[in-house]
Structure 1
Amino acid sequence: MVGTVALKKSVEQEVLAVSGNEPLKLKEKVAYGMGDFGNGFMFDLGQLYLLKFFTDVAGISAKYAAGIFLVSKLFAAFCDPIVGSSIDYRKNIGSRGKFRPYLIFGSLALAILTVFTFISPNLSGTGKLIYAYASYMIWGIGYSFLNIPYGSLGSVVTQNSEERAKLASFRQAGSLGALFLTSIIVMPLILFFTKHGAHDKLAYPLVMGMMSIVGILAFIFCYRNTKERVVAQHAPKEKLSAKVIVKTFISNKPLLVLVLMTIFTISAYNIKSAMLVYFAEYNLGNVSLMAYMNFIIIGSSFIGVLFLPKLVKLFGKKKTVMLGLGVSIIADSINFMMPPNVYIFTFLASIAFIGISIPNGITWALVSDIIDYGEWSSGERKEATTYSLFNFSRKLAQSLSGFLSGIGLALVGYVPNVAQTSTALLGIRGLLMLYPAVALAIAMIIIGFMYKLTDKKHAEIILELQAKVLQ
């Protein structure tokens, strides 16, 4: 018995040496989080402001704008597995690794495409609609070639469960940091330029260009200060095909559960972001309040990120996800029942954002665990394919939230730039608070009853994988 324990400890020590599972330096954790910070300075712009740009600046009706989000995001979702699989079949390039080079040229391309999505050419109504579809669909492909390698990077930086939880915390902090800043500075900047003679059609792409430059710089920092340590010992053997992609998806049960849960959590998260500007302008009567509310709401959510590693260590990933979802559900439900008041709304919305920031952060650690599970169960390591299939669910959720936002506004009778009816005001509140509460409740049921890849099971998987390497 003593000899068995000693042998197990010896194997664990060798595993640490082989897989690079030693504790990561703070600089690398910060650098990894900066990738999501840069991501947000291009991605968040579309989630926060593109619907309003389409309806209020480009003059596209809410229902047609909803169609743009639905079709474009679905198109990008189905492109993701193709992009991810093509990356998996790519070999490492020396010390630069397999994923890091994409951070440079991908961020440059996405920055340019981001600006183009916020341009409204002087065309007919049909022409504007075609341009909006084309620019946003191309943007989606550009985003895939940046986001999938970045997301896959987390699985090869370390295989240590605690370090992955910390990386997830830094990544969520980067994401929230970008959301925090873009939420409070973009509209004031647009208003500043319009007050000084620039038309909305010029102010929007100008400000989005400024934000995108910040995104590029953040990705450069991420590229320069991260290292790929886990090299695939079981690279894909089968020739790339649609059948191989589908097989990867349906054979990985934890991935299927995470995908299903994410559809509800991300749609809830994104619809909150998209509807807040409407709530501030029409329910509270002052669009400038959005910056102040976001300063408090998103700023408060850093509390959840700060305690994320400690909560994971105490409860495990699965129970921590459920805890965060429960907090957000309760806060949003109470908020919906309260009369519109900037102080009450901001307080409860802050609690809800603290709650939802926890599961959204942990998903990055979960998907890295699922990549290891896929290698253990199938004999092939497919980081980018697995991450792209996870990203597929995020795109579906984004299309759903964009579609629901636009269709929801149309159904409740929203009319741009005029005082709204009581039905429209109630509809805006429902989209902002009630839909997220229901969606997160469904997500909580899914993760609670269907997700079986515990932290203990993952640790056993890593030991088995690395023991094979040592043989």
Structure 2
Amino acid sequence: MNDSAANSDAQRDPANTKLDLKTKLAYGAGDLGPAITANISIFYLLLFFTNVAGIPAGLAGSILMIGKIWDGINDPIIGLLTDKTKSRRWGRRLPWLFYGAVPFGIFFFLQWIVPPFSTQQSNNIWPLFWYYVAIGIISQAFYTVVNLPYTAMTPELTQDYDERTSLNSIRFTFSISGSILSLILSKIIFSQIADRQQRYLVLAAVCTVISVLTLYWCVFGVRDRVMAFEAKRIQAEEAPSIPFGEQLKIVFSNRPFLFVIGIYLFSWLGVQVTASIIPYFVVNYMGLEESDIPSVLIAVQVTALIMLSVWSALSKKIGKKLVYCLGMSLWIIAAAGMFFLQPGQIGLMYVMAVMAGVGISTAYLIPWSMIPDVIELDELQTGQRREGIFYGFMVLLQKFGLAFGLFVVGNALQASGFKESVAGQATLPIQPEQALLAIRIAVGPVPTVFLICGLVLTYFYPITREMHAEILLKLKERKER
């Protein structure tokens, strides 16, 4: 085929045209808002419940567990609905972001309010508990409304194996930048505002505004590319619709998909358990101030941000699987180092944080670069594209695992004798030795177990670059018949 014919084909098939930088940046911006809110919640919400709202650690973990379980349940529902959404102006995914952005921001903010009835008798904690459960459920629902359709757009923007890794690299550059921005904001706000409750309220308000604005940047920035793909998809003849129960069978009979959700589950169990316990490790074990928490987390996230481009380039040479194994190995070493750290070894703590950041960047990049390949294997086998349901079930199982992990961490702290603050209390209580040991175990051995499980699954993951190229070739041949 000559160059003019190739160019003509590219014009007819927008999915095969290289993405311009403007579209890539707009797509990346769509993950900045959810990343800011998610990371603030991961790093601080458990701490906020125990040290500001005065909720016992076990109940605080239960609040997070209930929210995550509901978050997981609504993922495949929203995913299926986005697959069936029809809009001539916005396509299948973008209406959910457009209409969901503002309520998403509002209910995220409401999680950080300590309502007036919290000042009632200290033994009547249940009104406060149910307030946070209700707000958490609604907030998680709107998080899914904006985030799941966003993630499901990746296969609709490009079908190129390596460009997907590049696109996800830009996406997670924004994601980690959002996390770093939220931590910088928290450091500034924490150092300027003495009242702990007021700190979190101001931080939540600033992050809410940024989150909503960046979601709209994404909506308007990728619309042309998404609608070009949508026009092509509608024009193509698709196989008859498959009942939901049959779709479940197809999803869970897709062997590579099972590997991907396992890899993602164990990676993010390691990430989120570590992130939720780090504030306790810094303040209660290492003896630093609450305002020092962002500095440690920034060291992790800046390193992860820098390493994204490195891992992305390296994956083109040695493959996604080997990149993941290298990153996780470094993280395991860092987790072991954190467990053996002693109070006062601040420099070593930052060294371990940087090493963990090198590994964490592969947990961001690799699983999300694998899932589009799985979706195209399913299209080859069934004749249908079901990005929504695959992304939905991937995130559902991941969130069930996270819900269990957060529940265990919260209850382990409570069982070890961790002392929560009383709402409005100026100073933090002194923690017993058993509670400090539980914090060290949660920051070291627990994530290590998860990461080793992810490494085992990655070793057996079957889709290679060559296999993916063969899948795309067969799909192209089918469409040309």
Q: TM-score, normalised by structure 1?
A: 0.91
Q: Is the contact made by 1:265 and 1:443 (CA closer than 8 Å) also made in structure 2? A: yes
Alignment counterpart, residue 288 of structure 1, candidates 291, 294, 298: 291
C-alpha change, 1:374 and 1:234, in structure 2 (3 Å) is farther
State the shift of 1:213 in Å: 0.6
State the shift of 1:160 in Å: 0.6
CA distance in 2, matches of 1:278, 1:297: 16
* 2:50 is the alignment partner of 1:55: yes
Per-residue CA shift, 1:224-256, capped at 9, x if unaligned?
222214343465733653x14422421222111
Alignment counterpart, residue 36 of structure 1, candidates 31, 40, 47: 31
State the shift of 1:80 in Å: 1.0
Tell me the equivalent position of 1:455: 465
Tell me the equivalent position of 1:177: 177
Tell me the equivalent position of 1:312: 315
Q: Is the contact made by 1:234 and 1:380 (CA closer than 8 Å) also made in structure 2? A: no
State the shift of 1:73 in Å: 1.0
Per-residue CA shift, 1:169-217, capped at 9, x if unaligned?
1111111111112223225415533x3xxx5445433321210110111
Q: Is the contact made by 1:57 and 1:200 (CA closer than 8 Å) also made in structure 2? A: yes
SS state of the match for residue 19, structure 2?
coil
Tell me the equivalent position of 1:3: none
Deviates more, 1:148-157 or 1:23-32: 23-32
Q: Is the contact made by 1:19 and 1:159 (CA closer than 8 Å) also made in structure 2? A: no
Q: Is the contact made by 2:15 and 2:156 (CA closer than 8 Å) also made in structure 1? A: no
SS state of the match for residue 28, structure 1?
helix
CA distance in 1, matches of 2:373, 2:12: 19
Q: Is the contact made by 2:263 and 2:367 (CA closer than 8 Å) also made in structure 1? A: no
Tell me the equivalent position of 2:112: 118
Q: Is the contact made by 2:266 and 2:454 (CA closer than 8 Å) also made in structure 1? A: yes
Q: Which runs of 5+ in 2 are unaligned?
A: 118-123, 421-427
State the shift of 1:317 in Å: 1.6
* 2:450 is the alignment partner of 1:439: yes
Q: Is the contact made by 1:37 and 1:175 (CA closer than 8 Å) also made in structure 2? A: yes
Q: Is the contact made by 1:317 and 1:455 (CA closer than 8 Å) also made in structure 2? A: no
CA distance in 2, matches of 1:245, 1:118: 39
CA distance in 2, matches of 1:435, 1:16: 51
CA distance in 2, matches of 1:12, 1:364: 29
Q: Which runs of 5+ in 1 are unaligned?
A: 1-5
In structure 2, what residue type is equivalent to 1:429?
R
Q: Is the contact made by 2:338 and 2:440 (CA closer than 8 Å) also made in structure 1? A: no
Q: Is the contact made by 2:152 and 2:391 (CA closer than 8 Å) also made in structure 1? A: yes
Tell me the equivalent position of 1:261: 263
1:285-434, aligned counterparts within 5 Å? 285-286=287-288, 287-340=290-343, 341-416=345-420, 417-434=428-445
CA distance in 2, matches of 1:16, 1:423: 65
Tell me the equivalent position of 1:467: 477
Q: Is the contact made by 2:84 and 2:92 (CA closer than 8 Å) also made in structure 1? A: no
State the shift of 1:334 in Å: 3.0
Q: Is the contact made by 1:107 and 1:216 (CA closer than 8 Å) also made in structure 2? A: yes
C-alpha change, 1:253 and 1:92, in structure 2 (3 Å) is farther
State the shift of 1:158 in Å: 0.5
In structure 1, what residue type is equivalent to 2:347?
Y
The aligned length equals 458
Percent sequence identity is 26
CA distance in 2, matches of 1:16, 1:413: 65
* 2:194 is the alignment partner of 1:189: no
SS state of the match for residue 288, structure 1?
helix
Q: Is the contact made by 2:74 and 2:141 (CA closer than 8 Å) also made in structure 1? A: yes
CA distance in 2, matches of 1:240, 1:122: 48
Tell me the equivalent position of 2:218: 222
CA distance in 2, matches of 1:335, 1:13: 56
Tell me the equivalent position of 1:89: 84
* 2:70 is the alignment partner of 1:67: no
CA distance in 1, matches of 2:394, 2:339: 31
In structure 2, what residue type is equivalent to 1:162?
D
In structure 2, what residue type is equivalent to 1:305?
L
In structure 2, what residue type is equivalent to 1:64?
L
Per-residue CA shift, 1:415-436, capped at 9, x if unaligned?
1321222322222122112211
Runs of 4+ with deviation above 6 angstroms: 10-13
Q: TM-score, normalised by structure 2?
A: 0.89
Tell me the equivalent position of 2:205: 209
State the shift of 1:116 in Å: 1.4
Q: Is the contact made by 2:67 and 2:140 (CA closer than 8 Å) also made in structure 1? A: yes
CA distance in 1, matches of 2:237, 2:418: 54
1:162-173, aligned counterparts within 5 Å? 162-173=162-173
SS state of the match for residue 82, structure 1?
helix
Tell me the equivalent position of 2:148: 148
CA distance in 2, matches of 1:42, 1:414: 27
CA distance in 1, matches of 2:459, 2:10: 31
Tell me the equivalent position of 2:279: 277
SS state of the match for residue 452, structure 1?
coil
In structure 2, what residue type is equivalent to 1:273?
A
Tell me the equivalent position of 2:120: none
C-alpha change, 1:155 and 1:385, in structure 2 (3 Å) is same
SS state of the match for residue 418, structure 1?
coil
Tell me the equivalent position of 1:109: 103
Q: Is the contact made by 1:236 and 1:382 (CA closer than 8 Å) also made in structure 2? A: no
Q: Is the contact made by 2:375 and 2:386 (CA closer than 8 Å) also made in structure 1? A: yes
In structure 2, what residue type is equivalent to 1:464?
K
Q: Is the contact made by 1:301 and 1:351 (CA closer than 8 Å) also made in structure 2? A: no
State the shift of 1:147 in Å: 0.9
Q: Is the contact made by 1:15 and 1:466 (CA closer than 8 Å) also made in structure 2? A: no
In structure 1, what residue type is equivalent to 2:137?
M
SS state of the match for residue 225, structure 1?
helix
